[in-house]
Amino acid sequence: MTATIFTIVSGKGGAGTSMAAINLGAALAGFAKKTLLIDVDIGMPTIGLMLGLETSKASIHEVLAGSAELKEAIYDGPNNMHILPGSISLQGFVNANMDIIGDILESVKEKYDYIILDSPTGISKNSLLAISLADEIIQVVNPDILSLAGAMKIKVVSDNMGKQFRGVLLNRTEVTQNELSAERVETTLGLKILATMNEEKNVKNSLAFKAPVVIKYPASQVSGNFNRLAAEIAGIKVPEEEMVIKAPEKKKKARKFSLAKNRN
């Protein structure tokens, strides 16, 4: 087993990359796929905040700084997804050495089916590094001209790096009457739209509970779309009526995960 690495990118902040990374990862894990979610937005990490891990003692920042072992910074999350969050500490950002992120991936990729990288938005040294590590890229785009313009830049840069795109998540649709059509986004980028995510209050509500929407509101349209996409990625044929997955029982607070543990 060697993990397929998906980098979730956006050319503009606020498009919803972290939400997409969390829910795609949770959906894949819900199909019994061994999944690791990594926050590689070293400057503005949000995965820990969104999943209630903001006070964790070890994070990817400490690993990159050499002050913590990798196994100390990986936590159990929703649907048994594993999470390597970032730290909200400014000092952690200063000390982090992003040059070793590739080594971290090499050390764990044989243990997972999928690794999801939540990339910094826009074009920067760290976002380009996250793109370079991807086997496949998923663009998160909002149906507005600014988001599309940013996505075009990401597409050009990624193409120049020889990277493969899975496609586009068109997020936060049906907000205004003048938003860009799915056809225009698809034609402009030359990429397939994988799913269209309407603006749902359930998404914001799930953030308040620090849980993926696919867990907290499994009957929502957004959850169904993430489950369909995860099934497609995993090569699983699931009847349409089974795409809404029953919410699991509440679990205890996330605990540390040891890489030495047998996960079979």
Listing DSSP states for 159-190 in one string gives HHTTPPEEEEEEEEESS-TTPPPHHHHHHHHT
Q: What is the pTM of this model?
A: 0.89
Of the pLDDT bands very low, low, confident and very high (cuts 50, 70, 90), residue 97 is: very high
Output DSSP code: residue 256: B
pLDDT of residue 196: 94
In percent, the amount of the chain with pLDDT more than 90 equals 82
Return the pLDDT at 256.
55
Whether the per-residue pLDDT at 183 is higher than 80: the answer is yes
Mean pLDDT score across all residues of the chain:
91
- Cα–Cα distance, 123 to 159 (Å, whole number): 14
CA 158 to chain centre: 18
pLDDT in tens, 218-262: 999 999 999 999 999 999 987 766 665 444 444 445 555 555 444
At 51-78, the pLDDT tens digits run 999 888 899 999 999 999 999 999 999 9
